[in-house]
Amino acid sequence: MLRNLVKSKIQRLVITDKNLKYEGSLALDAGLLRLSDILPSEVVQVVNVNNGARFETYAIDGPRKSRCCCVNGAAARLVDFGVAFVILLGMIFAFGIALTPKVLLLPLFLLLLLVCALGFGLWLGAINVYIRDVQMLIPFLVQIWQYASPVIYSAQSIPSAWRLVYALNPMAGVLSGFRWCLLPTIPPGPEIWPSVIVAILVFITGIMMFLRVQRTMVDIL
């Protein structure tokens, strides 16, 4: 029988920086790593006390006596989301917007967001094995995707004739769901289902593509 036990624990560690362009890890002050008996490249689990999000990564040495705690790679998105979500909740209460029972459906849209992010991440990771320059396109693609999603505007502002096509963007359904759960807006219509279907298809095909590339990944890299 194999049992996983907690060897070291650092409580109330404050994230001091994040780096989205790094491949992924948690950079900690080298002195803090030694005091905590955590070795470089050792797997660690990070828990966000603001929203309960957990993710697993590995520790690397940061500059000694810098007191740094830098989340690198895709995990930085979780930290950024947690901070932004806390600020959003503060603004909701400041403006006197009452939360309703529909906020209980928020985890479903968060799950859809994670499925979408993992799906596209698996696809881009697999493509990056063969085309290394694809990582240079990611910031540009994210900017385009932001304007193609209802971030600074409502999905209801899209003409009715184009809403079904617009709903093929999986983030359209995610953001519309977030707005409906937290704000007094109209619920997402049937247009949300194309977003759900596309997100699931991207996730499933992403897993299949990544598993296919995984067989030859080491030889190519």
* Active-site choice (25, 36, 176, 195): 25
| Whole-angstrom distance, CA of residue 192 vs CA of residue 95 | 28
> Is 58 one of the catalytic residues?
yes
* Active-site choice (8, 22, 58, 149): 58
| Whole-angstrom distance, CA of residue 203 vs CA of residue 93 | 35
Which residues are catalytic, by number?
25, 58
